[in-house]
């Protein structure tokens, strides 16, 4: 069975060297520990947050070529959809944009060399939304890229802010999806995590940031403005499939809590959300979203997503290089979903969505 993995990251060797060479934040440094193992320390900005990655992960992250292909072969992955998930907006807009262009060129080289193995999601720098939209269009039209990946917030500002809508507008116009990838909370939302730093990442903070960004996007009315806008979410939907009934129910019930006379108010602050949006949250989620299996190898979560949005909306992803692609393949192969649904998850849905 063909397998297309859709949340597979690359940093490129160029970008690694660039970060390592920086004296100021954000930067990257490597340290050899007591066991002789090299570890990479990622500094997002001064005095804030750092995280560590072992050398083998960083090597996999930065390379797009023979080692990656060998890893894919061993795991049974036919195609990786390459994406850039670094918090590039820590840099100034001009540098961020110049770097994402170089990353896109590196990805394009790999895709050209191995057209049957790699597909690209455009790296963008949302701090400059118009330039990001233009870069998306350039890479889709000239290099055959199939969508883009952005983070839930731009230095703390959630992406439903209208200044970022040009990126979504262009994606809708080009009929390509936008993958919203988790990110650490920004400094102003990090405080509740600091006593338990592990909570701020994959354990909780990633999903909390991404889930809130998506709910804000739904509430913003962006899907009424661009009805064919397609969003992809990792980790089987960042918990939203589990919440869908309660999202609708709470939104509907909230109207009854507004005093009579004010429900019909023209003051935007008074208008209940249910009257501002054309549809219910679950309806947008079913029609405008896909979820992927990245980093979530748990049967109850997979079955919940399948029951909530259907197998046509679930895509296979491993989250290379942070999770094992082989374990993710084995997880889907051994899951309780039907053989035909496995075909959908492994490749049919991706082929339809990305027009492969």
* Span near Zn ion by CB under 5 A; candidates 7-15, 131-139, 249-257, 279-287: 7-15
Q: What DSSP assignment string belongs to 213-276?
A: HHHHHHHTTHHHHSTT--EEESHHHHTHHHHHHHHHHHHHHHHHHSPTTTTT---TTTS-HHHH
Neighbour count for residue 276 (Cβ, 10 Å) = 12
Q: How far is the CB of 64 from Zn ion (least distance, A)?
A: 16
> Which CB sits closer to Zn ion, 151 or 353?
151
* Span near Zn ion by CB under 5 A; candidates 5-13, 15-23, 223-231, 245-253: 5-13
Number of residues in the chain? 356
CA distances to 53, 231, 232, 274 from 16, in Å = 13, 28, 26, 46
Residue 131: which H helix or E strand, with range?
helix 129-143
> Which CB sits closer to Zn ion, 201 or 272?
201
> Which CB sits closer to Zn ion, 186 or 321?
321
Neighbour count for residue 73 (Cβ, 10 Å) = 11
d(CA 346, CA 323): 17
Q: How far is the CB of 300 from Zn ion (least distance, A)?
A: 21
CB distance 22 to 96 below 8 Å = no
**Going residue by residue from 309 to 338, which x/- string records binding to Zn ion, judged by CB under 5 A?**
----------x-------------------
Asked if residue 321 has a cis previous peptide bond (ω within 30° of 0), the answer is yes
Q: Which of 177, 231, 235, 233 is nearest to 201 (CA)?
A: 235
Q: How far is the CB of 43 from Zn ion (least distance, A)?
A: 20
- 319 part of the active site: yes
Q: How far is the CB of 80 from Zn ion (least distance, A)?
A: 12
* Span near Zn ion by CB under 5 A; candidates 1-9, 101-109, 118-126, 271-279: 1-9
> Which CB sits closer to Zn ion, 160 or 319?
319
> Which CB sits closer to Zn ion, 234 or 281?
234
Closest residue to Zn ion, judged by C-beta, is 319
Catalytic entry in 78, 319, 330, 341: 319
HSE-CB of 212 using CA atoms within 13 angstroms: 13
**Could you say which residues in the range 142-161 bind Zn ion, by CB under 5 A?**
none
CB distance 95 to 140 below 8 Å = no
* Span near Zn ion by CB under 5 A; candidates 6-14, 95-103, 117-125, 307-315: 6-14
Structure token pair of residue 253: 């019930």
Q: Is 8 in the site for Zn ion (CB under 5 A)?
A: no
Active site residues: 319
Residues that bind Zn ion (CB under 5 A): 7, 319
């Amino acid at each position: 069975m063909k397998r297309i993995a859709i949340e597979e990251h690359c940093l490129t060797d160029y970008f690694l060297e660039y970060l390592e060479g920086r004296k100021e934040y954000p930067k990257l440094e490597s340290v050899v520990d007591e066991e002789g193992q090299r570890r990479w320390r990622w500094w997002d900005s001064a005095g804030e947050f750092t995280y560590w990655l072992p050398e083998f992960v960083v090597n996999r992250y930065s390379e797009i070529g023979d080692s990656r292909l060998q890893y894919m072969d061993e795991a049974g992955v036919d195609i990786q959809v390459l994406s850039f998930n670094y918090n590039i907006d820590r840099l100034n807009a001009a540098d961020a944009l110049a770097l994402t262009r170089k990353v896109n060129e590196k990805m394009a080289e790999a895709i050209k060399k191995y057209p049957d193995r790699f597909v690209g999601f455009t790296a963008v720098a949302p701090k400059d939304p118009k330039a990001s939209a233009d870069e998306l269009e350039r890479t889709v039209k000239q290099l055959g890229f199939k969508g883009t990946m952005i983070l839930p917030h731009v230095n703390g500002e959630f992406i439903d802010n209208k200044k970022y809508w040009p990126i979504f507008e262009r994606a809708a116009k080009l009929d390509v999806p936008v993958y919203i990838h988790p990110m650490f909370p920004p400094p102003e939302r990090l405080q509740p995590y600091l006593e338990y730093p592990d909570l701020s990442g994959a354990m909780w903070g990633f999903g909390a940031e991404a889930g809130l960004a998506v709910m804000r996007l739904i509430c913003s009315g962006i899907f009424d403005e661009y009805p064919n806008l397609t969003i992809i979410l990792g980790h089987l939907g960042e918990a939203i499939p589990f919440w869908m009934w309660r999202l609708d129910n709470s939104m509907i019930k909230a109207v009854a809590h507004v005093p009579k006379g004010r429900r019909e108010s023209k003051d935007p602050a008074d208008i209940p959300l249910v009257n501002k949006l054309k549809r219910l949250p679950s309806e947008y989620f079913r029609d405008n979203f896909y979820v992927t299996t990245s980093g979530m190898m748990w049967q109850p979560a997979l079955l919940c997503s399948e029951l909530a949005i259907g197998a046509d909306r679930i895509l296979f992803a491993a989250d290379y290089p942070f999770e094992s692609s082989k374990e993710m393949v084995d997880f889907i192969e051994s899951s309780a979903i039907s053989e035909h649904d496995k075909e959908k998850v492994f490749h049919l849905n991706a082929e339809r969505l990305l027009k492969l």
